[in-house]
Structure 1
Amino acid sequence: MPQTTIHLDATIPPELAGKRLDAVLARLFPDYSRSRIQQWIEAGWVRVDDVVPRIRDKATEGAMVVVRACLDEPGDDAPQDLPLDIVHEDDSLIVIHKPAGLVVHPAAGHPRGTLVNALLHHAPELAHLPRAGIVHRLDKETSGLLVVARTLEAHTDLVRQLQARTVGREYLALVQGEMVAGGTVDEPIGRHPVDRKRMAVVGGGRPAITHYRVEGRLEGFTLLRVSLETGRTHQIRVHMAHLRHPIVGDPVYGGRLRLPAGLSDTAIDTLQGFRRQALHATRLTLVHPGQGDTVCWEASIPPDMADLLTCLHGG
């Protein structure tokens, strides 16, 4: 498929003079995110008075801006006719209920059989969008709701909502230990200083804020309802492990499973056989990019987590 070329022209108005160029262009061309405009400037696709600028340059009143940018070429990801649990679909977005075990993006070791492959078969136009329209992701073994943009305008809008922290994402997480009350974890997250495949709470990490409240108490375990204010890699898993209440079944951050006294053999067998983190994205709230109203979707807890909770309730 041929590339799509964007042609944009504008004149810097007086009220934006003196501000950073990337911020000004994001105001002048609201259909495109600031990060995308920064990429265009770095690629040399933006000219101001026929000069290639830098991102941090200040805008000058009356300067003529010309943008000739290429949208990303469709990737090599192959469409595949795979089952999709579609919770909602319209011209602007698709909301998916992702099962545990499904990888979101193709990568080394998972070139096919991913959510992206399935989406490209269901909606081929997503090939022209960044990351096939996916604006936030879930780990392979985390189940639950995920939103996909169907147009560039919707993608830009949803990315801005995520950056403005106005997208509501709630999870159910079963953690080890009995927690007395809810709270907030405000600790930065970055790469683990030794094991670079893991994340950790580190002093020089990116800001990360996780809110949690007790949803249910069980003998030796707690079911939490968790909401994200930021969206760092493995954020809930890292923050819960930092509190010394790791998520049950987490193969990376869970540590040794602590079994309370008095558990039945059935509950013990179920716990030991639960091979993924007990984490489910249960509720998603956002402002619809096409309609402007606040919309919300919910996904019931999956059968494997429901069975685990039933066993623990029974002891």
Structure 2
Amino acid sequence: MTVIRHEAEVPLSAAGWRFDRALADMFPDYSRSRLVSWLKAGAITLDGAPATPRQMVKGGEHVRLEAELEVEVTTAPEDIALDIVHEDEYLLVLNKPAGLVVHPGAGNPAGTLLNALLHYDARLAELPRGGIVHRLDKDTSGLMVVARSLAAHTALVDMLSRHDVERQYEAVILGTMVAGGTVDAAIGRHMGDRLRQAVRDEEDGKHAVTHYRMRERFRAHSLIQCNLETGRTHQIRVHMTHIGHPLVGDPLYGGGLRLPKGASPELVAALRGFRRQALHAERLAFEHPITREPMSFSAARPDDLQVLIDAMRDDARGAEPDDWL
């Protein structure tokens, strides 16, 4: 079990502050709620004595922090292969395959990314949610960042909340687009289906913004790029459906089979065989939470998505002008 030890003096500039506020300022690597929990447990002392969160400080007092990082998750480790794009002592960046669930839950008690991460690094059990700070849907492929230390976890969560992590996706949608745009529409749980999200009024949903642009147009579909300003559940899937362009293969949001007139046998086979939403997290960029170094990563398009796009290109190339939708 990891033990954290720090000693410091309350800065004179904090005179008159509550102790919990001073602690948050002195130890920014840890969340305020965690510091308060340690304080209440007696793991933090002020001039060698117990203190309370509301206690006022004068500045110059000696603070000692000695706390054990307890196990946060009890999920069993499993030897599941991971595609690690980058790793250092503070974080991992990995390329998640389609079909891999991120967290255990109803219907998926094991065989998840969390199981794999705990096998790769047992210390992740000491971090909230095993170091996972954001997620991808089961059938979405692509890049994720995972914290490996409490300081990195706190910083990454804060960066995500401030929208300081750039997340870029590519998707294949139903219908042909002429240009890009922005969808600014709140998202909340669907009123009639607990598995789905839906565009809601601002009072009932969470603010959500997706920027998109057209990359390539086929006869009945488009390849687009999406950049998230926020990170709501199913955001791209919900927003694209909202503007009338659901993702190809999406089982929840209406990405059904759509064939252009005279579709090639290869395109028919590719569309019938594509059993997931056509969505890939292709780029991730952020400032390293500890070193502040700019970092940028990309993940190649997975084979199944490449086969689908190639079939659409070939079909469009061989079609007559009148057969375009």
Is the counterpart of residue 62 in structure 1 residue 58 in structure 2?
Answer: yes
Instruction: Decide whether the 8 Å contact of 1:201 with 1:239 is kept in 2.
Output: yes
Which residue of the other structure, out of 126, 140, 143, is the alignment partner of 1:142? 140
Gaps of 5+ in 2: 316-325
Letter in structure 1 aligned against 2:286: L
Q: Aligned equivalents of 1:145 and 1:88: distance in 2?
A: 11
1:109–1:38 Cα change, 3 Å: farther
Please give the secondary structure, in 2, of the residue aligned with 1:175: strand
Q: Distance in 1 between matches of 2:254 and 2:122?
A: 39
- Cα distance in 2, alignment partners of residues 211 and 42 from structure 1: 44
Q: Secondary structure at the match of 1:27?
A: helix
Measured against aligned partners, the alpha-carbon deviations of 1:17-45 in whole angstroms (never above 9, x if no partner) come to 57x98665432320113464577689998
With normalisation by structure 1, the TM-score equals 0.86
How far apart, CA to CA, are the structure 2 residues paired with 1:87 and 1:116? 17
Q: Spell out, residue by residue over 1:35-59, the C-alpha distance to the aligned partner (whole angstroms, 9 max, x if none).
A: 6457768999889996755xxx7x8
Question: Paired residue for 1:76?
Answer: 74
Match of 1:290 in 2: 290
Kept in 2: contact 1:72–1:130 (CA 8 A): no
**How far does residue 12 in structure 1 lie from its aligned partner after superposition?**
7.6
Give the partner amino acid of 2:307. D
* Mapped pair 1:239 → 2:201: no
One-letter amino acid of the structure 1 residue matched with residue 79 of structure 2: D
Q: How does 1:206-221 map to 2 (within 5 A)?
A: 206-221=206-221
Change in Cα spacing, 1:95 to 1:213, as seen in structure 2 (3 Å) is: same
Tell me the alpha carbon deviations over residues 261-315 of structure 1, each in whole angstroms, 9 at most, x when there is no partner: 2322321222122110000000010111232110111011000000000111111
Matches within 5 A, 1:96-245: 96-203=94-201, 204-245=204-245
In our comparison, the structure showing a higher alpha carbon Rg is 2
Separation in 1 of the partners of 2:36 and 2:243? 38
Q: Which amino acid aligns with 1:103?
A: V
SS at match of 1:232: coil
Cα–Cα, structure 1 residues 82 and 261, in superposed 2: closer, same or farther, change >3 Å? same
Distance (Å, rounded) in 1 between the aligned partners of 2:42 and 2:200: 36
Distance 1:227 1:41, change over 3 A: farther
Q: Compare 38-47 and 146-155 and name the one that shifted more.
A: 38-47
Whole-angstrom CA distance in 1 between matches of 2:226 and 2:15? 40
Contact preservation (8 Å) 1:199, 1:234 = yes
% same residue: 51
Could you state the TM-score of these two structures normalised by the residue count of structure 2?
A: 0.84
The farther-off stretch of 103-112 and 234-243 is 103-112
The CA distance in 1 between the partners of 2:7 and 2:184, in whole Å, is: 41
1:142–1:40 CA distance, 2 compared to 1 (3 A)? farther
Structure 1: distance between partners of 2:20 and 2:209: 27
Instruction: Output the amino acid matched with 1:234.
Output: H
The 8 Å contact of residues 6 and 71 in structure 1, kept in 2 or not, is answered as no
**Cα separation, 1, equivalents of 2:284 and 2:239:** 20
Could you tell me how far 1:76 is from its partner in structure 2? 2.1
Contact conserved, 1:179 with 1:214, CA < 8 A, in 2? Answer: yes
Count of aligned pairs between the two proteins: 309
1-side partners of 2:255 and 2:150: how far apart? 42
Quick one: which amino acid aligns to residue 288 of structure 2? H
Structure 1 stretches lacking a partner, 5+ long: none
Letter of the 1:266 counterpart: E
Asked if 2 retains the 8 angstrom alpha-carbon contact of 1:97 and 1:146, the reply is yes
Would the aligned equivalents of 1:33 and 1:159 in 2 still touch at CA under 8 Å?
no
Matched residue of 2:276: which SS?
A: coil
Tell which deviates more after alignment, 272-281 or 63-72. Answer: 63-72
SS at match of 1:147: strand
Q: Secondary structure at the match of 1:258?
A: coil
- Answer whether contact 1:46 1:52 (CA < 8 A) is retained: no
Q: 1:174 to 1:47 in 2, by over 3 A?
A: farther
**Contact map agreement 2:166 2:285 (CA 8 A) in 1:** yes
Stretch of structure 1 that moved more, 297-306 or 32-41: 32-41
